[in-house]
A and B are shown apart, each in its own frame.
Chain A
């Protein structure tokens, strides 16, 4: 059984249809990537899952229907969303930002342990802990955003374009850490425009166009698909 199961998920923006009858599954501990060009509906998909947007259709997490629960309860159930544009709290310190990721948790000792895990993953954040988040570079801010989402101790981590606007070296480091997050047992649903990097780390891949899923398969299958290669890999 999948950890997250979406069936016939449909989202409207006013009258415009953003997602239509979308089926998607993420299994326990799996790293799933969603590829697609700008405006394909990738961000909308993640927002529907974290209940930032209303949707129709069935949405089950760990076997339980989450289609009606409010946003903060989705976080409490173990879906943490690292949103598009990072959305850090710019005037708070890096440490405060990370601590706020654990806002709904009461297990102090475990929160401290998770903070150590985030520092182990992104060593630079320990040095920057007392700095205001806005003083960090784009790549470092992305690390704070991912770390903050991890502080909610997710069973499923939603990542929205973590590589956007980041220097190449840091980008590689971020993709490596996404891999490490998965290997520690957290399922990841990664939305990405950088198809090459995403294919390199994902177990399975969905390709979206105009609010629909047009291809699905393992990374190897998708990487071998000629139309995908032309559209997203430029080869």
Chain B
């Protein structure tokens, strides 16, 4: 029982990190970003390159990786997505899919298909009432919670955060206040990319770092956000807890293989009974 609670908390926190960025860019710019998993993979590979090839200390490498991926997100929004904004939304969707596939192929060309290892920041393990948890998982949990808390403070207590919420609630109203929505879109894409990269960096030591590693997190983020309601930050956190714990319970009581079907089943059930998601204002599709 305790093992489920502890492992579920770790996985839920990482899922929340993935889902929050995904829902944020949808809520603000109405972009369904299929390149979100690529941000996660890029974060992990950046840390790998910086530590293994360039011998940068791990903590510094982690920070640089997050910043680089944030810049990548901003560049992607400005160069590839913004020119398509006047076209039907499908054009932007296809562009994000193209970016996601391109990143995966480039990683494959550079690093090959074999799994790479990223060292753990915390090597020791911790014992919680008989449940053994690796230090890196513990770190991933606390960093995720800290990032989510920081994001909440940023949204609630800064002018930029308020402007982001304003654009997500009424983009036209925000323009009348002199809030430049284009710049807000770029900033939010950068923020979303940074948070996804942070997730990639945190889990890289206990996940296999392979070019296709972004696909499953994208599917999970998508599922969580559909359960919680597209565009809702609280919804994505509740969705992450629901999915994280359900998966953990299934993994412990049945098998790891069965746990992977949870997210798909959750999407199916939610779309049937409440298409807007639990916290969504309206159906996104």
- Chain A interface residues (CB < 8 Å from chain B): 50, 52, 70-76, 80-83, 87-92, 96, 99-101, 103-104, 148-149, 152
Contacts and interface: CB of A to CB of B under 8 A. Distances in A.
Interface in B145-182: 159, 162-163, 165-166, 169-170, 172-180
Task: Name which of A50, A71, A82, A88 has the most chain B CB atoms within 10 A of its CB.
Answer: A71
A92 B166 CA distance: 8
Nearest to B175: A71
30 contacts: A52-B172, A52-B175, A71-B175, A71-B178, A71-B180, A72-B178, A72-B179, A73-B178, A76-B178, A81-B176, A82-B176, A83-B176, A87-B173, A88-B173, A89-B165, A89-B166, A89-B174, A90-B170, A92-B165, A92-B166, A92-B169, A96-B165, A99-B162, A100-B162, A100-B163, A100-B166, A100-B174, A101-B177, A103-B159, A103-B178
A73 B178 CA distance: 7
Contacts of B169: 89-92
A103 B176 CA distance: 11
For the complex of A and B, list the 8 residue pairs with the smallest distance between their C-beta atoms, beginning with the closest.
A75-B178, A87-B173, A72-B178, A89-B169, A104-B178, A89-B166, A72-B180, A81-B176
Nearest to A97: B166
Contacts of B178: 71-76, 103-104, 152
B10 to A, nearest CB: 31
B170 A75 contact: no
Nearest to A158: B176
A214 to B, nearest CB: 28
Contacts of A83: 172-173, 176
A149 B177 CA distance: 7
A91 B162 CA distance: 11
Contacts of A148: 177
A81 B174 CA distance: 11
B193 to A, nearest CB: 24
B116 to A, nearest CB: 43
Q: How large is the interface on B (under 10, 10 to 19, 20 to 34, 35 or more residues)?
A: 10 to 19
A29 to B, nearest CB: 23
Contacts of A50: 176
B169 to A, nearest CB: 4
Given A83-B172, A87-B172, A92-B169, A75 B162 contact: no
Interface in B234-260: none
Given A72-B175, A83-B172, A89-B165, 5 more contacts: A73-B178, A75-B177, A87-B176, A89-B166, A100-B174
A49 to B, nearest CB: 12
B170 A87 contact: yes
B225 to A, nearest CB: 18
A103 B158 CA distance: 11
Nearest to A148: B177
B230 to A, nearest CB: 15
Contacts of B173: 83, 87-89
Interface in B54-85: none
A165 to B, nearest CB: 17
Interface in B104-150: none
Contact of B162 (A74, A92, A152): A92
Given A100-B163, A103-B163, A89 B179 contact: no
Contacts of B159: 99, 103
A74 B169 CA distance: 22
A152 B172 CA distance: 16
Contacts of B162: 92, 96, 99-100
A199 to B, nearest CB: 27
A109 B92 CA distance: 43
B180 A70 contact: yes
A3 B104 CA distance: 57
Nearest to A99: B162
Contacts of A149: 176
Task: Name which of A50, A74, A103 has the most chain B CB atoms within 10 A of its CB.
Answer: A103
Contacts of A72: 175, 178-180
